[in-house]
Every structure is written in structure tokens, then in C-alpha cells.
Amino acid sequence: MDFKNILVQSGRRMLDKGLTVETWGNISVRDPQSGLIYLTPSAMPYNTISRDDVVVMRGDGSIEEGTRKPTVEAGMHLGIYRARKDVFAVIHTHPVDSTVFGVLHMPIPPIIDEAAQTIGGEVKVTQYALPGSEELAHNVVSALGASAACLIANHGAVCVGRDIDEAFKVCEVLEMTAKIYRMSLSVGRPSVISDENVAALRDFMVNHYGQDKKD
């Protein structure tokens, strides 16, 4: 699989979908065979990044390939991969509606079926830490836990998946949920899906939904 090309196309995809602005945000994928981690470079416009700009790192943080500086959040990506053996793609976005709740330090509950199916339960918010710091990396891993997404306080969001397409699905569902939650709060009290039903919806999505799954 051409992981460098996946990174190049994913950066443009994130920008085109309005999930970030300018050079903010970052993306990585992990090769399930070699364990190598492919990361976007630091502070480069996504529409200019080429295969040669992608940085390849080992799990210990050493550089395997590449001449560019990796994203300043490389430690966060590595920390997530160490903690989550089921994750092979990480997308850090700066979406407007999700970030509203990160600024408020307010978790986003599962208020729609799509969120329960794709993300699971409540989307938690990290404690605040400076961008690129070890503390931020630790806080993200802690807030993410076994979930598919978390909010970074006053900063943005982190979404993960078993591959890049799944991670993008989480990004889009999270932003849609945040928008619906914000609008719902403006007119009333949103009804949250129960833990029991969240578990059932999540199980359906993971184990039964799709042409390749058993009924």
C-alpha cells in the first residue's frame, strides 16, 4: 500500500472538507505490517505537500525516512499508536463546531444514532496543554481512551480509525454531531441516547453493518 500517497491525498481531503484551515492539523497512518508511522510534515500547506515531504517514523520516535520536520504533534500520534493497537490512522482536525465545545470544555454526548454507531459514547475533552507538548500528548491519550474521538481543549479534535477512511468518517460524524448539539442547546434540552442503546448501536456498526458483515 502506498502510505505516502495516502498522506498526500488525505491532507488535501481534510482541507477540502473544511476540517481545518491553512497548515493546522496533522495526519498519520501506521503500516500494520512494518509498524512504521507516516506523518504529515510541520507547517506546510496541504495543497503543496508531495510524497517527498512525508516523514516516516519508527514507534520509538526515530526517523526512518524523510528530510522534513514532522508535525509538532508527532508525540501525540505515537502515543495513541502505543496505547491503541487497533488504530492505524489518526487525524487531528480544527473544525469549527467541534472546537466550540473544546473551548467550552464541554463533552459532546451521543445524541444521534450516527454518533453512537461511529464514535460510541461521550466525546471527552482533554485538560489544557500547550500545542506540541508531552503533556498535550498524554492528555489526548487519556481523554481518547477506547473511543474513536476526543476534543483537545481550546484547540481542535482528534479522530482515529482502523484505516484512513474510517478515521475520516469519525471526523465528519463528530463535526455533524457537534453542529446538531450546538443548535439543539439553543432551543431546548437535547435527549441523550442511553448507554445500553449506544452499546447496541456500536455493536451493530462494528459487527453487522455493511455488505461484508454477517446479519
Q: Is 215 a member of any domain?
A: no
What does each C-alpha distance from 101 to 119, 127, 147, 171 come to in angstroms?
16, 13, 17, 15
Is 73 tagged catalytic? yes
Give the pTM. 0.94
Contact yes or no for 197/116 (Cβ under 8 A): yes
| Domain of residue 48, CATH code | 3.40.225.10
Q: Is 170 a member of any domain?
A: yes
Supply the pLDDT for residue 215.
63
Catalytic residue among 65, 73, 114, 134: 73
Q: Is 34 a member of any domain?
A: yes
Residue 213 exposed, middle or buried by CB count within 10 Å (0-12, 13-18, 19+): exposed
**pLDDT tens by residue, the chain, 215 residues:** 899 999 999 999 999 999 998 889 999 999 999 999 999 999 999 999 999 999 999 999 999 999 999 999 999 999 999 999 999 999 999 999 999 999 999 999 999 999 999 999 999 999 999 999 999 999 999 999 999 999 999 999 999 999 999 999 999 999 999 999 999 999 999 999 999 999 999 888 777 676 666 66
Q: Is 213 a member of any domain?
A: no
Q: Which domain holds residue 102?
A: 3-207
Question: How many distinct structural domains can be found in the chain?
Answer: 1
CB atoms within 10 A of CB 82: 11
Residue 170 exposed, middle or buried by CB count within 10 Å (0-12, 13-18, 19+): buried
Q: Is 214 a member of any domain?
A: no
Q: Is 212 a member of any domain?
A: no
Q: Is 108 a member of any domain?
A: yes
Give residues with Cβ within 8 angstroms of 5, minimum separation 6.
51
To which H or E segment does residue 75 belong? helix 74-83
Q: Is 9 a member of any domain?
A: yes
